[in-house]
Amino acid sequence: MNVLVTGGAGYIGSHVVRMLLKKGHSVVVIDNLSRGHLESVPEGVEFEKVSLLDYEGLRSAISRHPADAVIHFAAFAYVGESVEDPGLYYLNNVSGSVNLIRALNENNIKKVVFSSTCSLYGNPENVPISEKESLKPINPYAKTKYFIEQVLSDFDASFGMKYTALRYFNAAGADFDGLIGESHEPEPHLIPIVLQAALGKREKVMIFGDDYPTKDGTCIRDYIHVYDLADAHIRALEYLNSGNVSTVINLGTGTGYSVKEIIESARRVTGKEIKASVSQRRAGDPAVLIADNKKAREVLGWIPKYGLDDIIKSAWKWHQEPKY
């Protein structure tokens, strides 16, 4: 297929681009490089540096590259920043996505795989979390993803645009050959922070609260290797290409690890001491987020291949020698 990837220079997007190429698809990346890295886009891939907020530029880029489908990653994704500056998030994520979806529709591109999030479920009542859980996004970032799902649903109703919204749990890990990986500035995520501590780039890891109702008191998350995520995106494309209806699908492994277990595992894999101490809870952190991934298995035939050690090992390889 000819696939347009917005945000293809970002963390998850760049891994998906590589997998698409390996599977023989042809790829065009659209990215404004505000947070992505041009170095993560493989040589030979067509690249359009354009912002989703530039409607005319976007329309023209899309019309120049007839595509069968789009995978839409481009978005800001820091929860804390979205609370500090909600306008930035609504403008960039929601307005940008509305521009994209309109421009796709004008160009008769009617298949969209959308990068959504488990944070749509807020503080869920049922864990593991299935797609039937009620949607209660509790921060502006999560709300932007919620609104974009609604926009897609409305374009399906009015114009037959078919979409698969993939609600990710905690994306982690990196390419196994060490060429691309996670590089955020500032870095809010646990695994990169733990590995930076292992490298001596941070003095220690702050554990955000150890008084949660979990086995060791620290928060539990479902960490999913970025290559398992990438595989699910390609399956979602194939699902849409076979003429199926729009749907939403959770992507997680179904297994949760606590913050302390992550630090322990990183100590084991890296052989480094990794100092840690407990600080206050971070506002808005639910105690436990674990996916019920039955729908992904049934609808996409997707089975996550990688476990926590693969995640930490691949991330460790990257963080020891980041390329950007």
- Which positions lie near ligand UDP, rule CB under 6 A? 170, 188-190, 193, 205-208, 219, 221, 259, 282, 285
Q: What is the dihedral of CA 315, 318, 323, 324, to 10 degrees?
A: 30
CA distance 132 to 130: 5
Nearest to ligand UDP of 155, 318 (CB atom): 318
Q: How far is the CB of 323 from ligand UDP (least distance, A)?
A: 22
Nearest to ligand UDP of 69, 266 (CB atom): 266
Per the CB < 8 A criterion, the answer to whether 322 and 183 are in contact is yes
Q: How far is the CB of 286 from ligand UDP (least distance, A)?
A: 8
- CB atoms under 10 Å from CB of 110, counted, come to 18
Amino acid letter, residue 152: L
Q: How far is the CB of 259 from ligand UDP (least distance, A)?
A: 4
Closest chain position to ligand UDP (CB): 219
Nearest to ligand UDP of 61, 311 (CB atom): 311
Nearest to ligand UDP of 206, 299 (CB atom): 206
Q: How far is the CB of 212 from ligand UDP (least distance, A)?
A: 8
CA distance 166 to 142: 13
140's CB contacts (< 8 A; 6+ apart) are 82, 83, 86, 89, 90
CA distance 263 to 199: 13
CA distance 17 to 210: 38
Catalytic residue among 11, 89, 141, 163: 141
Start-to-end Cα distance in the chain: 29
Record the tokens describing residue 320, joined without a space: 């020891």
CA distance 279 to 186: 19
Nearest to ligand UDP of 23, 282 (CB atom): 282
Helices 259-270, 308-320: inter-axial angle, 10-degree rounding: 60
Residue 141 annotated to the active site: yes
**How wide is the angle at C-alpha 81 spanned by C-alphas 78 and 85, nearest 5°?**
135
Q: How far is the CB of 20 from ligand UDP (least distance, A)?
A: 25
Catalytic residues: 141
